[in-house]
Amino acid sequence: MIDQPTPPSRSIERDRRNHPATLEPHESGRRFGIHDGIFQAIAQGGGEHYLSAFALLLSATPLQLSILSAIPQLLGTWAQLVSIKISHWFPSQASQVYWGIIGQSVSWIPIFGLPLLWPEHGPWLLIAGVAIYFTCTHFTSPAWNSLITELLNPNERGTYFARRSRVVAITSLLVLCLAGGLLSIFENRDLLWVGFSILFMTVGLCRSASAILLQQVTGLPLHTPNSNPTGFLDFLRTGVSHNFRHFLLFSGLMHTAVLIAGPFFVLYLIQDLHLAHWQYGTWVAAGILGQFLTLPGWGQFGDRFGNKALLTFTGLLVAFLPMLYLFCTAWLFLVTVNFFGGVVWAGLGLGLNNYVFDAVHPTDRAKAVAVSSIVNAIGWALGTVAGSFLIHTVPSSLHMGAVTLEPASNLPFIFFLSGLFRLLVSITLFQTFHEPRQVEQRAHRRLLWELPLLKPLRQFSRRPTGTDQ
């Protein structure tokens, strides 16, 4: 049978739809958001996830690991304040995002170059380079979020950002595995520093591709400054609701609780349990896989039932994850725990981001994103400082009558304390803020069966009866 040629009119119409110059402005911007996510994922999977491992190669101390986790984030978040203050210098939000991306790309040069030139100061030079990177990253965040959010309807934000996050997750997973394999090859040859140099240089080049893509997007809105600008303190005092302030308190304290343990997982897995880099990479990859499989479900859940309901479930579940590290050190068990960690964090991160967009006026979104990031960064820094204090004070064994717990180090006890603090934050603050959108209401016990992983099981179990709810 001879294939029939495509009619010229259909072919022309298809080419017209796919050509960047003829795309609708909103569709063009949405596509850029997805494509930018791909290159951002390369930076995460091949760069950010291995910064702590690179610091260990440079003989970083636990204190330096804590600073590596806290200070760059804190400095970078203050860059969001600057980006709001000087946003009127740029003709559009797109141009502000463009220069921030260029800064991210260039900053990978000092990240891997300076520690190799002066290895005696390697950890501190790495911290300085990473601080520059996150400063540029956070500089783009308010403008990027405001720009993309303007192109989306309120009831489709969860689905869109879940789709983008899923693309980021699978790309990051693939790059993470490739990067782990590359580092293992050079580790076997005692040339691990060469592997990190190749990895970070490639990441920097790939990140610059987002800037090239952004230049090809047309029809994006110009910068429209607020006609009645206020400072950040005035914004917090009079420009936001009582509801949003309580949300900020929850978000900041949750970050504090999480970062009590966050910087030390790499230390526990590599130094205490002596996992190979490929095993550590697999552990990280399991979390990314959990995100990839459940992000669409979390996005639909948030769009349908609200981000407050999303935060309620994930905020409680995230408390129990670090506690499990106290009871088993088997590698497959740890990989499984981190897989479910990725599942829960996919929903929690989506809810924390999208709640900010819903709770403030559209003209204040960029400022609200900056304020939220600052609160989270303060919590981040407080958590890492508390974790660094606990690592020197918590004992490495616990005796309770006939039961004795002696893990590989005192870190599992710190992970357990982090989980208890997360649970306390969730229980005490969930009733202080509410859903700002009109969403479908259901009892929590019925919402439980709408959660990712559980909903497919419910639908499968009901399939033979031919009924649906």
Residue pLDDT, tens place only, 302-357: 888 888 989 999 999 999 999 999 999 999 999 999 999 999 998 999 899 889 88
Q: Which residue has the tokens 């349908």?
A: 304
Q: pLDDT digits over 205-247, tens only?
A: 888 888 888 877 666 655 555 545 555 566 666 666 788 889 9
What φ, ψ does residue 213 adopt, rounded to 5°?
-65, -40
User: Percent of the chain having pLDDT more than 90?
Assistant: 17
Residue 469 lies in a domain: no
Residue 163 is which amino acid? R
Question: Is residue 18 domain-resident?
Answer: no
Res 412: pLDDT? 93
Q: Looking at the predicted structure, is the pLDDT value of residue 189 above 90? A: no
In a domain, 1, yes or no: no
The answer to whether residues 47 and 180 touch, using CB atoms and an 8 Å cutoff, is no
pLDDT for the residue numbered 224: 54
Query: What's residue 311's pLDDT?
Result: 93
126 occurs within a structural domain: yes
Mean pLDDT to the nearest integer, 370-385: 85
Mean pLDDT value across residues 106-113:
87
Residue 413 is assigned to a structural domain of this protein: yes
What letters, b where the CB count within 10 A reaches 16 and e where it falls short, cover 284-293?
A: bbbbbbbbbb
CA dist list (Å): 188 to 52, 83, 106, 185, 274: 19, 44, 30, 5, 15
Angle at the Cα of 401 from the Cα atoms of 400 and 405, rounded to 5 degrees: 40
Q: Is residue 463 part of a domain?
A: no
Residue 300 lies inside a defined structural domain of this protein: yes
Terminal CA-CA length for the chain: 46
Q: Count how many domains the chain has.
A: 1
- Evaluate whether residue 2 is within a structural domain: no
CATH number at residue 74: 1.20.1250.20
The percentage of the chain sitting over the pLDDT mark of 70, rounded to a whole number, equals 83
Instruction: Kindly compute the dihedral angle of the four CA atoms of residues 113, 118, 119, 125, in this order, to the nearest 10 degrees.
Output: -60
Grade residue 141 by pLDDT with cuts at 50, 70 and 90: confident
Residue numbers of the domain that contains 262? 24-224+231-457
